[in-house]
Structure 1
Amino acid sequence: MNSTKGKKVILGLVGTILGLVWLAPFYMMIANSLKTKKEIFQSPLRPSEGFNVENYAQAAENLNFGQTFVNSLLITVVSVVIIIIFSSMAAYALSRVKSKVSTVIFFVFVAAMLIPFQAVMIPLVSFFGKLGMLNRPGIVFLYLGFGSSLSIFLYHGTINTLPKSLDEAAIIDGCNRFQVFWYIIFPILKPITVTVAILNTIWIWNDYLLPSLVINQPGMETIPLKMFFFFGEYTKQWHLALAGLTIAIIPVIIFYFVAQKHIIKGITAGSVK
């Protein structure tokens, strides 16, 4: 019994230490974003003596945060919705139609997760440039392609756990295949859908490389792309740079904490066969 309590205490201490290490960068970012430039260089680890909220106001103005936020939100929401719709339908078809062709297609999607974007970015961007798709619709299409592999993999595992009797009962009642999926199967996939939405939202919202290649025109920048130029301009004014960084990560952190309870549930459901 004492041994068990000792292990729990040790695990608790280790977890606390790891938690503090994980939170340390966030503390430094937020604390220093509220300081003046002089205070940061005097003591970057000390808590702020005051709250210089004007840092945030100036950073938001210099970031053109309103327009940049709308750009990121539009691209992220449209991309995630399209990924969810197409990936779930593809996974349903691959799961329910058992054949050598469907098996090969599924493993092609799984294998695509192993190909890094850097390996294909130059010919891909060149090809999309020739098609005139270096714009918002083009980047949404690219996100669909790169985000489908993991999403289909997660959906496929979950759909395999659903009995085919659900489909058969709906078909007997007069539903076609699309109605079976949309009204019977898709609502059951809510936990894994939330997981897919969270994973893709965090990825797309924080992505810098693809927007820098596709939509780097003035006025169309996403938050990570705008932050790159912002840091280049304000690297010596760390109070403004850190305030801008804090503003940039707040939306995705809020979204993550609101929906985090579905992540483990969705991934666990997708791993059981």
Structure 2
Amino acid sequence: MAQQSSKPFLTRARKKQIRNTLLFMLSLTLFVLYFFPFVLVLINSFKERLDIVTNPLALPTTWSFANYIEAYQTMNFMSALWNSVLITTVSVLLIIVFSSMFAYYLVRWKWKVNGWIFLLLIASMIIPFQALMIPFVSIFGNLGLLNSKWILMFFYLGFGLGLATFMYHGFIKNIPVELEEAAIIDGASRLQVFWKVVFPMLKPITVTIVILDVLWIWNDFLLPALVLVSESNRTIPLSTFYFFGQYTSAFGPAMAGLVLAMIPILIFFIILQKQVIKGVMDGAIK
């Protein structure tokens, strides 16, 4: 009897072990497929152009930093880095401030027009940027407002406001109104209630929005290419385009430039990894 009763248990344990092994192999395969392009870029950034073209998968015969020196000088890396950091930081801050306050207004003031405003905001996310870029460039170009980092930040605010407001809207609805009423009774103004009571409770969704917007704005190429004309205003993605000409491409320096472009964003996530993971987990639980 004991042997017969142990067989189903062993069968279940064996099935669980097989399932865990298959899940591990699947995760490992996806990790390799995802990580392989980054390894390929890193390896080829130390090669000469001929070695990259003839055998891109092989390790370098001689490891050289010449590509990095050329990429650093050609990209004007420090200027491009400053432009990217400034544009990304200010744009994300503007999106966070305006979208959180706008969502709070739409949730707490129960006016009929607010419902239509919210629907229009959601509908605006359906319109692709490619359908708007020609009118935008034409209008702002005729007004002489292109080639400005501040105009680019204004564009990012407009394009990022819809999604961020939508995410804040759903989160704010779950915050008890009684907390705000208690603060108002204690003499706090509406702004004080929002910034000192409501906004600290929005930290999980704020971290999520920061992750999405930093990745979007830092890696964006099309919008800066349309707005930023002069070389002094170019961001890191625009600077990497220097290595690709009409008839030839400098693959080695281009690979090195891509590695240099990835380093700041990797440092950002390494420094803030605890806050990023905690924010995503808290947002998922909420």
**TM-score > 0.5, shorter chain as reference:** yes
Poorly superposed stretches of 4+, deviation over 6 Å? none
Is residue 265 of structure 1 aligned with residue 278 of structure 2?
Answer: no
Tell me if 1:217 matches 2:233: no
**Greater Rg, structure 1 or structure 2?**
2
- Percent pairwise identity: 45
Give the AA of the match of 2:77.
F
Q: Which residue, out of 35, 52, 69, partners 2:81?
A: 69
Gap runs ≥5 in structure 2: 1-12
Are the aligned partners of 1:128 and 1:138 in contact in 2 as well (CA < 8 Å)?
Answer: no
Letter of the 1:112 partner, please give it.
S
Give matches, 1:1-273, under 5 Å: 1-134=13-146, 135-232=148-245, 235-257=248-270, 258-259=272-273, 260-262=276-278, 264-265=280-281, 267-268=283-284
Counterpart-to-counterpart distance in 2, 1:233 and 1:266: 48
Equivalent residues of 2:243, 2:253 under 8 A apart: no
Secondary structure class of the residue paired with 1:232: coil
CA offset at residue 114 of structure 1? Answer: 1.0
Shift of 1:193: 1.1
Contact kept, 8 Å, 2:203 with 2:279, in 1: the verdict is no
Residues 84, 193 of structure 1: 8 Å contact kept: yes
What's the CA shift for 1:233? 7.6
What TM-score does the superposition give when structure 1 sets the normalisation length? 0.92
Residue identity in the other structure for 1:114: I
User: Per the alignment, in what secondary structure is the counterpart of residue 8 of structure 1?
Assistant: helix
1:49, distance to aligned residue in structure 2 (A) = 4.4
Which has the higher mean CA deviation after the structures are superposed, 195-204 or 126-135?
Answer: 126-135
Measure the CA separation in 2 of the matches of 1:230 and 1:244: 9
What are the Cα deviations for residues 91-147 of structure 1, in whole angstroms up to 9, with x where unaligned?
Answer: 111111123211211121112111100111111222222333211111111110000
Letter aligned with residue 127 of structure 1: I
So what's the TM-score if we normalise by structure 2?
0.88
Paired AA for residue 281 in structure 2: K
Give deviations 1:9-60, integer Å, cap 9, x for gaps.
1111011101101111001000111223343234211223443123212211
Task: Sort the Cα spacing of 1:131 and 1:268 in 2 relative to 1 into closer, same or farther, 3 A.
Answer: farther
Task: Check 1:251–1:8 CA distance in 2 against 1; reply closer, same or farther (3 A cut).
Answer: same
Change (3 A) 1:114 1:266: farther
**DSSP 3-state at the match of 2:240:** helix
The aligned counterpart of 2:9 is none
**3-state SS of the aligned residue for 2:232?**
coil
SS in 1 for 2:244: helix
The 1:50/1:191 distance shift into structure 2, 3 A limit, reads farther
Cα pair distance change 1:20/1:235, threshold 3 Å? farther
C-alpha distance in structure 2 between counterparts of 1:104 and 1:47, whole Å: 59
